[in-house]
A and B are shown apart, each in its own frame.
Chain A
């Protein structure tokens, strides 16, 4: 893949260090306490003392049910939330104290391919790229190239986003994230809701990015097969706590499991199908 370069004002340190270093990271949300009266609130932990590191160039998958804290983790690392305790660093930069420096290094693809629906894919990408300092001459050249690379038909780049399928929109979301040459790519359920073919295409593109681009990837998913296929290490996040983070083989061995699903079950005491029964409505919303 041809890497698209632009001048960055935040340097990625040449000295080898963790791309992501998270230490006892905590995030609470306040929610209404039904037992405490009309105005009563209680603090509900969405992330509870999470600690891990990701090496530069590594791909780590975090497995967890809906509401386990995966998206909260991604939002904290992408400066969209402020933590309530602990520390998180991206290439040595504190994500809460040095937000601008972190923002220059990170981009994200989430489960919702959010765009201005009346604008075309090209217009949406132009808009996103400007925020990272890319000039019109740079984007005129880069956007068609990157759209082609993600398998988006060039002739459709003038069409409003609302006319595109969910799979097509997710490809544009990938293009948006890669357009700015991030060194840390946060993928928050990037293939959820896609049809099998689109899912395979997106996964194949993620592999290609890993092979050709100097990117570290944090993949949050509840797709066990996807996690095993794409990541070097797999973490299990349950109710805000990181229970394990190891290569898939080690995880299976540790829990004496044949499959990753069995390992997940052994670690959490639950299956993915159990999630709806576990927490009340408020709690599940909190962990999202």
Chain B
């Protein structure tokens, strides 16, 4: 019993160590992160301006509502990007620095190792998503008198469990392909969001894509957040239970996929930087 408690203590210290390392790195690369944030703001503006552009070219539209709808899509896109980026960097960055062998030979379970990256990614991503939302909302002078921001935040946090599980699957890619694996994470991000109604209702999708949207956690996250921000809705059970189910499946699946990738890398000598 004592040995189990001691092992658990070591595991949690290891998880905290990954968070601590990411804090150090974020501090060291603060100005780069700031520049990347400005890029994200610019990118978000190009999407959100579409609502005003539509009206300016003669379309009839509730501009504030359409702008907010697009903004939520862009913020979730950026948030998902951060989660996937941090998880993919768990391997990619360490490979680049050459520290990966030291990390992989340490007595820490992969669940806690990746969990540390996931915890930091969620915290960092949430702060960044809130900042992005506020900056762009202020830019457009959006008023959201009915918004239930607490519910929106709660949905995003619950959805993060699934995002983390899927992110674990993509984070193994740099182990298999050191050169191109990290970029493949962007493909997963794009595929996930295109079927989830990132800037449009899923009802406009072809039937087969609409079916895929039912197994994407982003579908429920976007739908729930929009209902909370636009209509003041609380956390709907109809959005919550699919997120919990997908989360419960995706985390062990993500871990299994990563472990398979690690075994492959150890079998074929892919942990070595030049391998």
With contacts A118-B25, A118-B29 known, is A133 near B10, CB below 8 A? yes
Cβ–Cβ contact A116 & B105, under 8 A: no
Residue from the list B14, B97, B104, B263 in contact with A130, Cβ < 8 A: B14
Cβ–Cβ contact A80 & B24, under 8 A: no
From 82 to 137 in chain A, residues with beta carbon under 8 angstroms from any chain B beta carbon are 82, 100, 103-104, 106-108, 110, 112, 114-119, 123, 126-135
Contact flags A153-174 to B (C-beta < 8 A → 1, else 0)? 0000000100000000000000
A-B contact pairs, 23 of them (CB 8 A): A75-B101, A75-B269, A80-B104, A80-B105, A81-B269, A81-B271, A112-B273, A114-B99, A115-B99, A116-B24, A116-B25, A116-B97, A119-B21, A126-B20, A129-B17, A130-B16, A130-B20, A132-B107, A133-B6, A133-B9, A133-B10, A133-B107, A135-B13
With contacts A114-B98, A131-B17, A132-B10 known, is A103 near B107, CB below 8 A? yes
From 19 to 38 in chain B, residues with beta carbon under 8 angstroms from any chain A beta carbon are 20-21, 24-25, 28-29
With contacts A81-B266, A82-B266 known, is A176 near B102, CB below 8 A? yes
Cβ–Cβ contact A126 & B17, under 8 A: yes
Contact flags B236-275 to A (C-beta < 8 A → 1, else 0)? 0000000000000000000000000001001111011110
Interface centre among A114, A117, A126, A176 (most CB of B within 10 A): A114
Cβ–Cβ contact A29 & B268, under 8 A: yes
B183 at the interface (CB under 8 A from A): no
CA of A14 to CA of B87, assembled, Å: 41
CB-CB nearest in chain A for B101: A80
Residues of B within 8 A of A (CB): 3, 6-7, 9-10, 13-14, 16-18, 20-21, 24-25, 28-29, 97-99, 101-109, 263, 266-269, 271-274
Interface centre among B29, B267, B274 (most CB of A within 10 A): B267
Cβ–Cβ contact A103 & B13, under 8 A: no
Question: Which size class do A's interface residues fall under?
Answer: 35 or more
Cβ–Cβ contact B97 & A117, under 8 A: yes
The 3 closest A-B CB pairs, nearest first, are: A130-B17, A133-B10, A114-B98
**A138 CB to nearest B CB, Å:** 10
CA of A131 to CA of B17, assembled, Å: 7
A66 at the interface (CB under 8 A from B): no
| Chain A residues with CB below 8 A from B267, complex form | 81-82
| Chain A residues with CB below 8 A from B10, complex form | 9, 132-133
Cβ–Cβ contact A115 & B13, under 8 A: no
Cβ–Cβ contact A131 & B268, under 8 A: no
| Chain B residues with CB below 8 A from A10, complex form | 107
| Chain A residues with CB below 8 A from B6, complex form | 7, 9, 133
CA of A112 to CA of B271, assembled, Å: 14
CB-CB nearest in chain B for A71: B272
| Chain A residues with CB below 8 A from B263, complex form | 82
**B184 CB to nearest A CB, Å:** 22
